[in-house]
Chain A
Amino acid sequence: DSGVTQTPKHLITATGQRVTLRCSPRSGDLSVYWYQQSLDQGLQFLIQYYNGEERAKENILERFSAQQFPDLHSELNLSSLELGDSALYFCASSVGSGDLYEQYFGPGTRLTVT
């Protein structure tokens, strides 16, 4: 158990809908990362927050947004869902910012868009 929790574990929804994925980082970790794992694109970085502020962003569609709240949990919002958004979404957290800090991954949320 990495100490990173993600809810829900599974999500099945229809095209055009909107969903929210939630991540609680390990206690004391200030950085949160979101990654998407799909058959087409593999495992790719989406966005990073550090202590409530966006630090880096890549590969993230305009239909997707994220935020990190004052209690450091993070949410990834996916809207106008398409079949291609079906994937496993991982959250990771680290104590600080920088590659010296290990990223701890949660178990993921599996999103299925039908």
Chain B
Amino acid sequence: GNSVTQMEGPVTLSEEAFLTINCTYTATGYPSLFWYVQYPGEGLQLLLKATKADDKGSNKGFEATYRKETTSFHLEKGSVQVSDSAVYFCALSPYNTDKLIFGTGTRLQVFP
């Protein structure tokens, strides 16, 4: 079946630290991969996506590379800010479908 596994949180960092949130997936065929962010009291927002192997998605300083050989899509940012504090969800969309399958979410807390 299709599933997403991401690291447990919370991840606690100081401002300007390097961020990695791990995400691995299981899927049949060739899924598209996504990172969504959920700020307190709000809905999810698409952060970045990649639709095929070796694609790199990037937005607002965040990056993730679609690695088919390791079935991974780890989220990275070189220097986090307090405003990045949120819950981050890794997700996949199975080939030829529109639905999103989400991981459990990872809470990021950034302190000044």
A residues sitting closer than 8 Å to B (CB atoms) are 2, 4, 31, 33, 35, 42-45, 48, 55-56, 58, 90, 92, 94, 97-108
B residues sitting closer than 8 Å to A (CB atoms) are 32, 36, 41-46, 49, 51, 89, 93, 97-105
Q: How far does the alpha carbon of A103 sit from the alpha carbon of B36 in the complex, in Å? A: 10
Chain A, Cβ-Cβ closest to B46: A102
Knowing A4-B43, A48-B98, A58-B99, say if A99 contacts B105 (CB, 8 Å): no
* 7 closest Cβ pairs, A-B complex: A105-B43, A99-B93, A43-B102, A45-B99, A99-B32, A105-B44, A107-B43
CB pair B98 A44 closer than 8 Å: no
Q: List 15 A-B contacts (CB under 8 A).
A: A42-B103, A43-B44, A56-B99, A92-B44, A97-B98, A98-B98, A99-B98, A101-B98, A103-B46, A104-B46, A105-B36, A105-B43, A105-B44, A105-B45, A106-B43
Chain B, Cβ-Cβ closest to A96: B98
CB pair B102 A44 closer than 8 Å: yes
Chain A, Cβ-Cβ closest to B101: A45
Q: Distance in Å from the Cβ of A92 to the closest Cβ of chain B?
A: 8
User: Which residues on the A side are within 8 Å of B41 (C-beta)?
Assistant: 107
User: Which residues on the B side are within 8 Å of A102 (C-beta)?
Assistant: 46, 49
Chain A, Cβ-Cβ closest to B102: A43
Q: How far does the alpha carbon of A58 sit from the alpha carbon of B102 in the complex, in Å? A: 14
Chain A, Cβ-Cβ closest to B91: A43
Identify which of B32, B98, B103, B104 contacts A33 (C-beta below 8 A).
Answer: B98
Q: How far does the alpha carbon of A20 sit from the alpha carbon of B103 in the complex, in Å? A: 27
User: Which residues on the A side are within 8 Å of B45 (C-beta)?
Assistant: 2, 105
